[in-house]
């Protein structure tokens, strides 16, 4: 099956390549042909310069372009869609694209307006939300639904109108309030680094979330605001709430303030779960920091959560922002916010996949009453040992009558592990031959 992605060289469209390329024959287009060809080569998909030509060959065509261009692209490709093919879009506003698809597509082309509610930085589809707003369900709908369901995605089926209203709360209100807060901080000329000594965990989470929103493409954020028909009402209501709260406090009306706060709290519904989720986020950050501080001076593996690259070395130091790893003469500093700590088992598996293996057979003489099973189990627990086998048991010439020679085949990922095995065997009373 051929899947075409218009806008597949940037943003969410680029991320979709990684999800589809191992299962389908993926083709992409992009505004910048040089960049598009490079992205296609790097990811391992195909590049076509023409949206129309892509429409002609695609079984499923996905439009992933800025919101204000989506309708025009739908009109551009509609006449060239393959018979019995499917057109989808992944934009944050659904009413306008749905209307245009219904108007311009032939009856032999299905369409499913959709909105994946996650960003380009998402690395796994499991438990991610996707909204489908079908105007009518054609032959493709169940196939798409089952595919997404098999990826363990959370699928919401609704109308385009309901979707846009919900997004006016989830996106329009959230982005507007967060950007307003960030703008206030900027107008006050606050140096956020100076607030670090006074930070609470909740403040940290809030600043991180605000930074995540304002760091998005400002054009995307603007069009999410301006192209949602509910946006005007949402922003005006927010402004009225801010003005009311400001005036209540400035006028010293404590009773009115308490009334507003209590009503707002009641309307938040499940406060207990909200506290639990925020506590979990805070505890997770604290546990990771505690683990890192306990690992100072020891070998550790840190995986960059966006690039996926694993960095292994001796952890020299950690503060509230940065970890410092040393490997040989190389010093690597990684931002705490961008890494996750691999477990001991994950580190071992990574080493097995990435380090050269070393194999050595070691023969050792023990007294006859030695417990070989205990020796094997103990060797297997030595760090960097991949495998150990007892390959020979020998008693005869050159071996005392009360003794036995055992030969162990050792596979490891470091020469130091082999040395540790020999030291262990001596500790069991063995004499290496």
Short-list 62, 242, 234, CA closest to 165: 234
In the predicted model, is pLDDT for residue 278 greater than 80? no
b/e per residue, 153-185, with b = 16+ CB within 10 A? beeeebebeebbbbbbeebbbebbbbbebbeee
Residue 327's nearest CA partner among 293, 300, 367, 290 is: 300
* The pLDDT of residue 212: 82
> pLDDT-derived band of residue 282, with 50, 70 and 90 as boundaries?
low
Distance, CA of 424 to CA of 113 (rounded, Å): 65
Nearest to 375 by CA among 426, 416, 411: 426
On the question of pLDDT at 6 being above 90, the answer is yes
- The β-bridge relationship of strands 339-341 and 299-304 is antiparallel
Distance between CA 348 and CA 175 in Å, rounded?
A: 42
Closest by CA position to 177, among listed 120, 241, 121: 241
Provide, rounded to the nearest whole percent, the portion of the chain with pLDDT above 70.
Answer: 97
Q: Measured between alpha carbons, how far is 115 from 98 in angstroms, rounded to an integer?
A: 12
Banded pLDDT at 201 (limits 50, 70, 90): confident
Q: Determine the Cα–Cα distance for residues 294 and 9; give it in Å rounded to an integer.
A: 42
Note the residue count of the chain: 433
Summarize pLDDT for 214-240 with one digit per residue, the tens: 888 898 899 999 999 999 999 999 999
CB atoms near residue 85 (< 10 Å):
22
The neighbouring-strand residues paired with 253 are none
Residue 84 token pair: 């019995």
Residue 320: φ, ψ to 5°: -75, 0
pLDDT at 241 over 70: yes
Residues 217, 224: Cα–Cα separation, whole Å: 11
Q: Mean per-residue pLDDT for 68-78?
A: 96
Q: What is the mean pLDDT of the chain?
A: 90
CA–CA distance, 55 with 50 (Å, rounded to integer): 9
User: In Å, what is the CA distance from 214 to each residue of 22, 115, 171, 220, 233?
Assistant: 33, 21, 12, 11, 22
| Residue 182: per-residue pLDDT | 93
Q: What is the pTM of this model?
A: 0.67
- What number is the average pLDDT over the span 1-10? 95
Report, as an integer, the average pLDDT of 191-201: 77
393, exposed or middle or buried, with CB in 10 Å at 0-12, 13-18, 19+?
exposed
Sheet holding 310-318, edge to edge: 330-335, 322-327, 310-318, 299-304, 339-341
Residue 209 main-chain phi, psi, to 5 deg? -70, -40
**Max mean pLDDT range (108-117, 296-305, 351-360):** 108-117
pLDDT reported for residue 208: 80
Q: What was the pLDDT predicted at 125?
A: 87
Q: What is the pLDDT of residue 285?
A: 66
pLDDT for the residue 109: 97
The per-residue pLDDT for range 307-349, each reduced to its tens digit, is: 778 999 999 998 877 899 998 888 988 887 778 888 888 888 8
Give the mean model confidence (pLDDT) for residues 344-367: 88
What average pLDDT does range 139-167 have in this prediction?
Answer: 96
Element (H, E) at 354: helix 344-354
DSSP character at residue 107:
T
Lowest-confidence region among 136-145, 270-279, 364-373, 407-416: 270-279
- Please work out, in degrees rounded to the nearest 5, the angle formed at the alpha carbon of residue 156 by the alpha carbons of 151 and 158: 145
pLDDT digits (tens, 9 = 90+) for 86-101: 999 999 999 999 999 9
pLDDT at residue 204 greater than cutoff 80: no
Q: Is the pLDDT of residue 270 over 90?
A: no
Q: Which residues of 25-84 form beta strands (DSSP E)? A: 25-29, 46-47, 60-63
Overall average pLDDT of the 98-110 stretch: 96
134 band by pLDDT with thresholds 50, 70 and 90: very high
| Domains, the chain, with CATH or none | 2-158 (3.40.50.720), 163-267 (1.10.3660), 293-344 (2.30.30), 355-432 (3.30.70.380)
Angle between helix 160-167 and helix 95-104 axes, rounded to 10 deg? 160
Predicted pLDDT at 292 = 87
- Please check the confidence at residue 164 and state whether its pLDDT lies above 70: yes
Write the CB contacts of 49 (distance below 8 Å, at least 6 apart in sequence). Answer: 29, 33, 36
User: 32-63, pLDDT tens digit by residue?
Assistant: 999 999 999 999 999 999 999 999 999 999 99
């Amino acid at each position: 099956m051929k899947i075409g992605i218009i806008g597949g060289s940037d943003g969410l469209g680029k991320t979709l390549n990684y999800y589809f390329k191992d299962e389908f024959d993926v083709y992409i287009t992009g505004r910048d042909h040089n960049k598009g060809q490079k992205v296609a080569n790097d990811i391992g998909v195909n590049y076509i310069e023409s949206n129309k030509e892509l429409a002609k060959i695609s079984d499923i065509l996905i439009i992933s372009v800025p919101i204000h261009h989506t309708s025009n692209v739908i009109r551009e490709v509609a006449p060239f869609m393959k018979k019995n093919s499917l057109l989808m879009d992944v934009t944050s506003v659904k009413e306008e694209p749905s209307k245009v698809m219904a108007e311009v597509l032939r009856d032999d082309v299905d369409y499913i307006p959709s909105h994946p509610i996650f960003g380009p930085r998402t690395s796994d589809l499991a438990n991610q939300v996707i909204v489908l707003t079908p105007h009518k369900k054609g032959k493709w709908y169940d196939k798409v639904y089952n595919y997404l369901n098999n990826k363990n995605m959370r699928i919401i089926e609704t109308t385009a109108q309901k979707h846009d209203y919900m997004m006016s709360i989830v996106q329009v209100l959230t982005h507007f309030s967060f950007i307003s807060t960030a703008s206030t901080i900027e107008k006050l000329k606050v140096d956020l680094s100076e607030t670090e000594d006074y930070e609470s965990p909740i403040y940290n989470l809030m600043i991180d979330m605000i930074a995540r929103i304002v760091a998005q493409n400002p054009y995307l954020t603007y069009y999410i605001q301006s192209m949602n028909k509910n946006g005007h009402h949402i922003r005006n209501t927010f402004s009225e709430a801010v003005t009311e709260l400001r005036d209540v406090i400035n006028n010293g009306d404590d009773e009115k303030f308490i009334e507003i706060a209590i009503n707002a709290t009641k309307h938040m519904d499940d406060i207990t779960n909200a506290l639990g989720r925020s506590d979990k986020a805070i505890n997770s950050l604290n546990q990771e920091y505690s683990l890192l501080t306990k690992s100072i001076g020891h070998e550790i593996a840190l995986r960059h959560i966006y690039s996926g690259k694993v960095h292994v070395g001796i952890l020299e130091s950690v503060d509230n922002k940065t970890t410092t790893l040393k490997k040989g003469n190389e010093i690597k500093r990684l931002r705490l916010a961008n890494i996750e700590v691999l477990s001991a088992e994950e580190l071992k598996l990574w080493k097995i996949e990435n380090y050269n293996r070393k194999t050595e057979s070691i023969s050792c003489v023990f007294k006859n009453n030695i417990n070989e099973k205990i020796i094997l189990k103990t060797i297997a627990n030595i760090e960097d040992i991949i495998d150990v086998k007892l390959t020979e048991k020998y008693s005869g010439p050159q071996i005392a009558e009360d003794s036995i020679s055992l030969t162990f085949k050792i596979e490891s990922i470091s020469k130091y592990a082999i040395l540790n095995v020999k030291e262990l065997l001596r500790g069991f009373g063995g004499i290496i031959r």
